[in-house]
Amino acid sequence: MKILIADDHSLMLAGVKQALENDHGFEIVGEAGTGPEVMPLIKRRSPEIVLLDLRMPGIDGLSLLQRIRVEHPEVKVVMCSVSTDPDQIQAAFKRGAAGYILKTINPLDLGSAIRQAVEGTAFHALGLPAMTEETVAKTAGLTDREIEIVKAVSMGLSNKAIAAELWVTVQTVKFHLTSIYRKLGISNRTEAANWALVKGIVTEQQVAS
């Protein structure tokens, strides 16, 4: 696969190049060290994939991602960053990123992670240290029952179905959902499912399409 690498840190750029060259599944067709270099390089080199740093000088990664998706919709963009901020991860996916890879990932796993993102459109950050469900719940301030409801919502269950599953009333489910939305700073079931995916509470296979 033809890939263009965009990162403003020369050491990181060199490390990514070596990891992908050792993988033998990628042809590096271009390198960019600043945001403004990216679009002209895509036009000249026609990559299939752009591995894009979230923080690029000149034009930031999210802005570049949006431009690439509009001007070159055939190109898959995989974001690469040190940031584990769920808001930034979700922002990347909402703007059309095929994947989001943490720079802490083992270099030996980089090629596989890029392929997984491109072929499987993974809606979670790859290379993110695993958190237990208990830790996730505690960090977000959710109760065990609220985590159960987030899972059920992510799987596409209606309020009535959730109520029957948990032996509570529909009104109780609605009460819990209001509390969940407030604690997570979200407003609907889709955002709840996205949050659960990013946090690893549910898998892509479990989420209702």
The domain spanning residue 36 has which CATH number? 3.40.50.2300
pTM over 0.75: no
Residues 121 and 147 in one domain: no
Residue 198, pLDDT score:
77
Q: Given this model, what pLDDT does residue 36 score?
A: 96
Pick from 68, 94, 126: which residue ends a domain?
Answer: 126
Evaluate whether residue 22 is within a structural domain. yes
The pLDDT of residue 7:
93
Handedness of CA 195, 77, 103, 20 (dihedral sign): positive
DSSP 101-158: EETTS-GGGHHHHHHHHHHH---SEETPPP--HHHHHHHHT--HHHHHHHHHHHTT--
From the CA atom positions of the chain, what is the Rg in Å? 19
**Domain boundary at 126, 156, 189, which?**
126
Say what the pLDDT of residue 126 is: 66
pLDDT tens by residue, 180-196: 999 998 999 988 988 88
* Full domain range(s) for residue 152: 133-199
Can you give the pLDDT at residue 4?
96
- 22 plus 119 within the same structural domain: yes
List, run by run, the mean pLDDT of 10-residue segments along the chain (209 residues): 93 90 91 95 96 93 95 94 82 88 86 84 58 68 90 92 92 94 91 83 72
The total number of structural domains that make up the chain: 2
Same domain, 23 and 86: yes
